[in-house]
Amino acid sequence: MLVRQWVWGGVAAFALAFAAGPVQAQEPLLGAHLPTTIDFPNTLTFNLNAQAPVVIDRAEVIYHVEALSCGTGSATGIATFNPTNDLDVSWEWDLRDAGGIPAGSRITYHWLLTGAGRTFATNEQTLIFEDPRFEWRTITGEHTRLMWYAGDADFAKDLLDVADAGILQLQTTTGILPQNLVEVRIYETAEAMRETVLFSPEWAGGIAYPTHGLVAMGINRFNLSWGRDAMVHEMTHVVMGQSTFRCGSSLPAWFDEGLAVFNEGRVAGSFTTALNQAIEDDTAFTVRGIAGAFPSTEDGAILAYAQSQSVVSFLINQYGSAKLNDMLVAFADRGTIERALQQAYGFDTDGLDAAWRAFVGLPPRSGPATIEPEVIPTIPPLGLPLGQTDPTPTPGTTAPPEPSTTPTPTHTPSMTPTLAPTHTPAPATSSGGSGCNRSDSSAGLDGSLLIALALTGTVLVRRLV
């Protein structure tokens, strides 16, 4: 089993403040009140009410959001006020500048006060950035904590069992289990879920935050069949994202998406058709060509998902789960897929491509193929038609018709230097299966923050029917 120890760091909207010169001794400030005010999901205001023994001329709140990161550190917000020892101050964190934080995030914070050459610190507090619009109920399984507000207990138990079963299947395949409970919030509609996400694409139906261990999805009784598959897919992303986290590197798209589709246990009919045709015509991608980005066309994207699943299936079925675990351990330790493949299997990405081609009956390539990475689609295969923001299926159906158009890509700002959101569609009625959009672009932050901490994260967005 792959087991690693991770550091939980802070997601910052502002540059970190690092004191120059000797650090002053901090005195505890007792009796302070530290309430917070949340205007979900736009702002979080830190308040301080306290009596200080001296006149205070500087008050700063030190805070961080718990998430896997490349270091430890906290962000600083400085309150504006007139010097006084009777403090009633506040500082507002505008999450719209930060790109937002997921519902369920744990935030720790305290205040530092300076005056008359002395520094005072309040006790550290912890808050949960929760969506207050609904009365949440909670059910906990072996590896999953599920929160929901619409539907009966059987509905929630169904999804919880599917989530835990998906994780256990992932353990069978890779030897990996999550070190902490994965927390899932189930919204009744896609619209309600999207309202929790700043700058969310209008067709997003679910979001996975691997570095936070959080998932939000829009699932109801009309799309429950899709919801079960989507749950397994996203849980795979979260667990794998946490277990292989390494600064400056990420799993290639062919593996990350291929394993998620493999773990669902069934393959979309459209995926199988596309792959069989590509094998017959000898038009399959190179494995290296789908390592970082999938084609922008719908047909190309479908083939990329299908081939990714086939390559992962080949590794598992031909070499066994133990070898796959060896590769993941090597990736987490060494940071590149080339080194990981060489250490576990004795071949690199091109060698994997050659072995997979031989397995499916394709001839050796005549020479090294070069495929330029393409921007991956905003509407992935089998997504909703443009303009349809929430499904209104006839009772008993689980998916709308396939789309005929693809909207302009929507940029989603990130909170830290992160990969852009990954968008995953729901299956079309006739095919089943799912897939995720991937992007390799990163969002930059203030230079002092980047120097202080190379914070990283991953957000995955799933398309809902």
Let me know: does 304 contact 285? Beta carbons within 8 Å.
yes
Amino acid at 203: W
Beta carbons within 10 angstroms of residue 438's beta carbon: 26
Q: Which residues of 388-424 are buried (b: 16+ CB within 10 A; e: fewer)?
A: bebbeeeeeebbbebbeebbebbebebbbbbbbbbbb
User: Cβ contacts of residue 59 below 8 Å, gap of 6+?
Assistant: 48, 78, 79, 81, 87, 89, 111, 112, 113, 114
Of residues 451, 442, 255, 229, the one with CA closest to residue 344:
255
Copy the structure tokens of residue 380.
């992935």
Let me know: does 105 contact 66? Beta carbons within 8 Å.
yes
Q: What is the DSSP-derived secondary structure letter of residue 396?
A: T
On the 0-12 / 13-18 / 19+ scale of CB atoms within 10 A, 81 is middle
| 422/408 Cα distance (integer angstroms) | 15
DSSP result, 229-289:
HHHHHHHHHHHHHHHT-BTTB---HHHHHHHHHHHHS---HHHHHHHHHHHHHT-PPPTGG
State the pTM of this model: 0.74
Let me know: does 425 contact 380? Beta carbons within 8 Å.
yes
Ranges for all domains in the chain classified under CATH 2.60.40.10: 8-129
Of residues 272, 273, 254, 299, the one with CA closest to residue 402:
299
Measured at the CA of 319, the angle between CA 313 and CA 320, to 5 degrees, comes to 80
DSSP β-bridge partners for residue 68: 8
Q: What's the per-residue H, E or C state across 133-164?
A: CCCCEEEECCCEEEEECCCCHHHHHHHHHHHH
Beta-sheet pairing, 182-187 with 214-218: parallel
How many residues does the structure list for the chain?
465
Of residues 297, 126, 100, the one with CA closest to residue 199:
100
DSSP β-bridge partners for residue 139: 146
Integer distance in angstroms from the first to the last C-alpha of the chain? 35
| 272/177 Cα distance (integer angstroms) | 29
Let me know: does 184 contact 460? Beta carbons within 8 Å.
no
| 123/173 Cα distance (integer angstroms) | 45
Per-residue pLDDT tens listing for the chain (465 residues): 433 333 334 333 333 333 333 456 899 999 999 999 999 999 999 999 999 999 999 999 999 999 988 776 789 999 999 999 999 999 999 999 888 899 999 999 999 999 999 999 999 999 999 999 999 999 999 999 999 999 999 999 999 999 999 999 999 999 999 989 999 999 999 999 999 988 777 777 888 899 999 999 999 999 999 999 999 999 999 999 888 888 878 899 999 999 999 999 888 899 999 999 999 999 999 999 999 878 888 899 999 999 999 999 999 999 999 999 999 999 988 889 999 999 999 999 999 999 999 999 999 998 654 444 433 333 333 333 223 333 333 333 333 333 333 333 222 223 333 333 344 443 333 333 344 543 332 222 222 222 222 222 334 444 433
pLDDT at 367: 65
**So what CATH class is 8-129?**
mainly beta
Dihedral angle over CA of 339, 341, 344, 346, nearest 10: -90
Let me know: does 11 contact 454? Beta carbons within 8 Å.
no
pLDDT at 419: 34
3-state SS, residue 360:
helix
Cα 83 to Cα 93, 385, 407, distances in angstroms: 22, 58, 53
| 128/274 Cα distance (integer angstroms) | 45
Among all chains, which residue has been given the structure tokens 């929760």? 130
| Cα 41 versus chain centre, distance | 18
Sheet holding 214-218, edge to edge: 137-140, 144-148, 182-187, 214-218, 204-209, 458-463, 419-424
pLDDT at 402: 33
